[in-house]
Chain A
Amino acid sequence: GAVVSQHPSRVICKSGTSVKIECRSLDFQATTMFWYRQFPKQSLMLMATSNEGSKATYEQGVEKDKFLINHASLTLSTLTVTSAHPEDSSFYICSAVLAGPTFFGPGTRLTVL
């Protein structure tokens, strides 16, 4: 199947700093990518839809000024958590669609101290 990668896999940062997470489709082009967040023992929650060449579309309740999304190319989307706080600690996952099935990245574990 298609491969989606994320970097970094794990990050620990101090409160108030910004963290950038990269999502890449390695063997296919993705006009659209998606970002999810998952808290312990809960299901994935869709945060936003990342569109190449245009602004991201955010789900209700997700702060667009806090979670900056940039879809710079057909294979790369980035999520920047700005001024991170402990409540932003979570598992962040991206995905991309290839002709029907959705392929997910391995996730990024963010811990904000």
Chain B
Amino acid sequence: DAKTTQPTSMDCAEGRAANLPCNHSTISGNEYVYWYRQIHSQGPQYIIHGLKNNETNEMASLIITEDRKSSTLILPHATLRDTAVYYCKYYGGSQGNLIFGKGTKLSVKP
């Protein structure tokens, strides 16, 4: 499984931006960076993905460094409902057999 490194946990104040980092130094040129999250007792949820350009959707923004060895997921105005475990993955094509590590447990506090 492609290895990524994420902090074990992070706290964020409600209404502030949550910036979640991920290192993926062994990513190859045709592999995309994907972010998923799992809220307690729910199935994981796809958030966003990108190749090398920064991406933004209704949920989050994804900033990928120029060398593509790391990225940051940004939740611009975190809410209590954003409390979840966030997973950073990278793969090419339509790989579905994802192996999940520990991810980052984000706690959004009032």
- Residue numbers of B with Cβ under 8 A of A are 32, 34, 36, 38, 41-46, 49, 93-103
Contacts and interface: CB of A to CB of B under 8 A. Distances in A.
Interface SS of chain B: loop
Contacts of B32: 100
Given A43-B101, A44-B100, A97 B43 contact: no
A104 B45 contact: yes
Contacts of B94: 97-100
A34 interface: yes
Interface residues of A, number: 26
* Residue in A1, A32, A102, A103 with the greatest tally of chain B CB atoms within 10 Å: A102
A6 B43 CA distance: 10
Interface string A79-108: 000000000000101011111111111110
Interface string A1-26: 10010100000000000000000000
Interface of A: 1, 4, 6, 32-34, 43-44, 46, 49, 91, 93, 95-107, 109
